[in-house]
Amino acid sequence: PPRSTLSSSSAASDVYKRQEWDQAIKHFQKENKLARNTGNQNLVAWTLFNGAEALVQSGDLVEAKDDLEEAEVLLEQMGDNVGFLAVQRVWGMYHTNAGNFGKAVSYFEKARKMALELGLPSDIADLDYRMGEMCQKMGDTDSARIHFKRSVNTFRDIGAEAEQRRSQKALDDLDK
């Protein structure tokens, strides 16, 4: 990809990590435009679902839905299983925020199964974290605790300290 796409990607990643969703959305939209102009369909799909995650986090489910639908089609056509897994995870987050917990579970379980098959422990741990969040929103503290504990353990096992702390905090906050 062109150098400007790479620098935009880095900027988008930085604001995303800081959870500055409005800025992340702007960066992913800019990156998506560049990807479309260069014909890079893989990057188009990845910017769509990353941007959709930022949209979900900011509460804009309408635009997130459109972006997820487009990304899902592109990734399936390309056979990009890792990207497709990520779209399923974001769909789970989308449905959690929309209060459609049955659909959220279905998407999270599909993504978790794919992560297991692909051997992606960080994705497995993140999905456990996301399922814990969903259970917490449903008021199911016992199930949330199970998912957060699994997330803590997996992140610890792979040495992902920041993610382990995030999961541990969520677990600790259940008792407050």
SS3 content of the chain, % helix, strand, coil (to 5): 90, 0, 10
What distance in Å separates the CA atoms of residue 133 and residue 116, rounded to the nearest whole number? 20
Q: Which residue intervals of 79-160 are DSSP H helices?
A: 81-98, 101-118, 121-138, 141-158
Tokens found for residue 106: 């279905």
Residue 3: the pLDDT is 33
Tokens found for residue 48: 């769509």
Burial (0-12, 13-18, 19+ Cβ within 10 Å), 70: middle
pLDDT tens per residue across span 116-173: 999 999 999 999 999 999 999 999 999 999 999 999 999 999 999 999 999 999 999 9
pLDDT tens per residue across span 64-94: 999 999 999 999 999 999 999 999 999 999 9
pLDDT confidence tier of residue 4, bands split at 50, 70 and 90: very low
Residue 1: the pLDDT is 33
Is the distance from CB of 102 to CB of 125 less than 8 angstroms? no
CA 161 to chain centre: 18
Give the pTM.
Answer: 0.88
Phi-psi region of 96 (alpha: psi -120 to 50; beta: other; left: phi over 0): alpha
**Helix (H) / strand (E) containing 63:** helix 61-78
pLDDT tens per residue across span 16-67: 666 778 888 888 899 899 999 999 999 999 999 989 999 999 999 999 999 9
Is the distance from CB of 125 to CB of 149 less than 8 angstroms? no
Residue linked to tokens 């990590």: 17
Residue 107: the pLDDT is 97
Q: What is the rounded (10 degree) CA torsion for 110, 85, 118, 5? A: -170
pLDDT tens per residue across span 94-122: 999 999 999 999 999 999 999 999 999 99
Is the distance from CB of 67 to CB of 49 less than 8 angstroms? yes
Residue 131: the pLDDT is 96
